[in-house]
Amino acid sequence: MVSEPAMVKVWIRIFLAAALALALTRAAAAEPLSGVGFGDSLMAGYQLGPGEAFPEKLEAALKAEGFDVTIANAGVSGDTTTGGLARLDWSVPDGTDFVILELGANDALRGISPEITRDNLDTMISRLEERGIDVILAGILSPPNMGDGYAAQFNPIFPELAEKHGVPLYGFFLDGAITRGDLMLSDGMHPNAAGVDEMVGKFLPVMREYLSSRAD
């Protein structure tokens, strides 16, 4: 006859084996966080090769740090906030966990009223929140040729909307590249592949903080 202490050890082993099997099954079934980079040519990767656009390089950098995440590229060159609002619902599929929202540069280049830009971005953030999708807002600054008056209306849009909705803000999407000619294409407005690397490196702390907060 098996002694009682021996039986207890057997049951403990069975329990631990079952718990381990359940944990492994759950880990295998877990899906990566699904993100979308939603923006204009700065997101789309204007004149860059396969895998060189911001969403793809950001995904690779995060995976290298151990984050299980995918980031789809939903950038459209030339897009304004009005265009983004029109395509938001079908460009961001159900099941998306987060969106990096980067729009407004073309609004500023075209001199579109900052109030229109604000309203469009506000509506996009609200729509995504209603769908249970987190937003990480990537800010844009007015180009110098638009003048101080326009900049005074345009530049506060992003920090004010981030505060209103309580979403993470990255102050200036082109930070790290725009002031260096060797990191920009010849047009002076779009980053080259090395410029995207610099942008990704500066964006990573925001993503680390966001992804770590989801794991808590």
Residue pLDDT, tens place only, 24-56: 333 334 679 999 999 999 999 999 999 999 999
Q: What is the pLDDT of residue 10?
A: 47
Burial 182-198 (b: 16+ CB within 10 A, else e): ebbeeeeebbbbebbbb
* φ, ψ at 75 (rounded to 5°): -90, 140
What is the dihedral angle through the alpha carbons of 124, 130, 132, 134, rounded to the nearest 10 degrees?
30
Range 124-130 contact pairs with CB under 8 angstroms and sequence separation of 24 or more:
124/81, 124/84, 124/85, 124/88, 125/101, 125/161, 125/165, 125/167, 126/165, 127/88, 127/89, 128/88, 128/92, 128/99, 128/101, 129/165
Predicted local confidence at residue 4, as pLDDT: 57
C-alpha count within 13 angstroms, C-beta hemisphere, residue 214 = 17
pLDDT at 29: 40
Task: Compute the distance between CA of residue 69 and CA of residue 6 in angstroms, rounded to an integer.
Answer: 45
What's the pLDDT at 8?
46
Distances, alpha carbon 36 to alpha carbons 15, 20, 150, 155, 213, in Å: 41, 34, 30, 24, 18
Q: What is the pLDDT of residues 82-114, one digit of tens each?
A: 999 999 999 999 999 999 999 999 999 999 999
- Residue 215's pLDDT is what? 80
Q: pTM for this one?
A: 0.85
Active-site residues, by number, are 41, 187, 190
Chain-centroid distance of CA 173 in Å reads 11
31-215 fold: Rossmann fold (3.40.50)
53, two tokens: 């656009």
Q: Which two tokens stand for residue 77?
A: 């060159």
3-state secondary structure of 104: coil
> Which amino acid belongs to residue 113?
S
